[in-house]
Amino acid sequence: MFTGIISDIGVIEATENRGDLRARIGCNYDTNFIDLGASIACDGICLTVIDKGAGWFDVDISAETVAKTNIMQNNQPWPIGKKINLERALKLGDELGGHIVSGHVDGVAKVISMQDEGDSTRYVFDAPPDLAKFIAQKGSVALNGTSLTVNDVNGTEFGVNIIPHTKAHTTWGDVQIGDRINLEIDTLARYVARLHEMTP
């Protein structure tokens, strides 16, 4: 489990198709303290560390994960040099600063507008219709692994404001209109909707 509070920005150093996609991710973590088999959220995708060295770790990414996320762009996987948001899994006693995030991406939202509002930036996204029903004003979403509060919802479109600190310590400062963003809906919203469906 994760919180959606980004703790590092990783860089894609290599990718290789081995049936599954293998990626090497450069990081600032002290990998001496990362166990093989540990989970790290990479742009919101929970991935398992299968190898590591000084300043890098490797992950294998299944075809299902590739299909559900924004890893593929123009039929190519993450390009070399791409920056991604990283978060290590929660440990007992860690502060829950964002919201409960599983690292299981539900789908991909598209950035349709960006506008500065004071020091912050308002980003508006278009979500897949089957996921938009789970997004509520003042609710939480994880976007590229970042825990964010929804400011407004209009059909399949929703907006969030991102403050300068978040832009400076994540990849949000590099995001452009048209970018595809990994979306994980709030776990609570998912279960409330399921209970509502089962209520006669």
What average pLDDT does this structure show over 176-195? 82
Phi, psi of 195 (to 5 degrees): -65, -40
CA distances to 41, 52, 140, 195 from 143, in Å: 12, 26, 10, 25
Q: Band of the pLDDT at 191, cuts 50, 70, 90?
A: low
Is residue 194 predicted with pLDDT exceeding 90?
no
Specify whether 142 is located in the same domain as 66. no
Find the CATH number of the domain harbouring 162. Answer: 2.40.30.20
Residue 187: inside a domain, yes or no?
yes
User: What is the SS3 assignment for 165?
Assistant: helix
Residues 113 and 41 in one domain: no
Say whether pLDDT at 199 is over 70.
Answer: no
Same domain, 71 and 113: no
* Domain-ending residue, one of 59, 88, 117: 88
pLDDT in tens, 77-110: 999 999 999 999 987 666 667 788 889 999 999 9
Residue 173 lies in a domain: yes
| 79 assigned to some structural domain | yes
| 2 falls within a domain | no
Domain check: are 59 and 115 in the same one? no
- Tell whether 72 and 121 lie within a shared domain: no
Asked if residue 57 is part of any domain, the answer here is yes
For the chain, what is the domain count? Answer: 2
- The domain in which residue 145 lies consists of 107-198
Instruction: Note the pLDDT tens digit of each residue in 15-54.
Output: 999 889 999 999 999 999 999 999 999 999 999 999 999 9
Tokens representing residue 14 in the block: 């290599």
Same domain assignment for residues 194 and 121: yes
pLDDT of residue 196: 62
Q: Do 23 and 58 touch, CB atoms closer than 8 A?
A: yes
